[in-house]
A and B are shown apart, each in its own frame.
Chain A
Amino acid sequence: AQSVTQLGSHVSVSEGALVLLRCNYSSSVPPYLFWYVQYPNQGLQLLLKYTSAATLVKGINGFEAEFKKSETSFHLTKPSAHMSDAAEYFCAVSDRGSGNTGKLIFGQGTTLQVKP
C-alpha cells in the first residue's frame, strides 16, 4: 500500500532563508509524486509534480523538489523564503498508468511559517 510521511508538522523560517519541507513515500510501483500548497480557506494548488522525467522538478513560485529513489524521498525546497509562502503544504502520491484509480494519498501536511 502507498503511504506518505511528512517530517515536521510545523516549520518556521526567516524571510530570505532556505525552505526545506521533507516528504518520504512508500510505493510498490514507481509513483507519481506531488506537492500541493493550501492557503487559508482556499483549495489546493499544485506546486509541482514528478512523473518520471527529470528527477529534479521545478515548480511555481520558485519551488523545486528532487526525486531520490534510493532514499524514497521527494523533499521540497526554495532558496529564499518570502512572507507570501506562509501556508500549508501537502505531499501526495498516486499510482501511475492504466491501473491508476485516481486516488491521491496525502501526507499529514506541514505548516510553513515565515518570520520577518
Chain B
Amino acid sequence: DTEVTQTPKHLVMGMTNKKSLKCEQHMGHRAMYWYKQKAKKPPELMFVYSYEKLSINESVPSRFSPECPNSSLLNLHLHALQPEDSALYLCASSQETSASEQFFGPGTRLTVL
C-alpha cells in the first residue's frame, strides 16, 4: 500500500465551528507533514512530525492544532478559523525526515464561511 489517504475530501465550516482533518498512511513511514496550498500557489509547510513528535511548527496560528496519535495517523484540529484559511490542505509522509521522497495525499478542500 503506497497511498496516503485524507478525509474528508471537502469541508465547509463556519468561523465558530470545530472540525478535524484526518490523514492516514500504512507504508510504515515515521515522518508526516501538513501543508497548506492556496489557489495557484505552491504548498506551504505547516507542521512536521517525526516519530510521532512535533519537530517543526512553521509559526502556524494556534487555531490549527496538529495531533499524531500513532505512527500511521495524523490529525489537524481546526477551531475559530478565518475565511482566509480557506485552502487545500495536503498531508504527506516519508520514511524519515532524512528520506528523499515525500508521498502526498489528495488533500482536503476547506472552505471557511
Question: Which A residues have a C-beta under 8 Å from some C-beta of B?
Answer: 32, 34, 36, 41-46, 49, 51, 90, 94, 96-104, 106-109
Interface 9-mer from B12-20, B59-67, B69-77, B96-104: B96-104
Chain A residues within an 8 Å CB radius of B105: 43
Q: Is the CB of B98 within 8 A of A98?
A: yes
Question: Which B residues have a C-beta under 8 Å from some C-beta of A?
Answer: 4, 6, 31, 33, 40-43, 45, 48, 50, 55-56, 88, 90, 92, 94, 96-107, 109
Q: Is the CB of B42 within 8 A of A101?
A: no
A41 to B98, CA, bound (A): 29
Known: A45-B104, A100-B99, A102-B48. 8 other contacts (CB 8 A): A34-B101, A43-B105, A90-B43, A100-B97, A103-B48, A108-B42, A109-B41, A109-B42
Q: Is the CB of A43 within 8 A of B100?
A: no
Chain A residues within an 8 Å CB radius of B40: 109
Q: Is the CB of A42 within 8 A of B42?
A: no
Dominant secondary structure of chain A at its interface with chain B: loop
Q: What residue in chain B is nearest A41 (Cβ atoms)? A: B109
Residue in B42, B98, B106 with the greatest tally of chain A CB atoms within 10 Å: B42
Chain A residues within an 8 Å CB radius of B92: 44
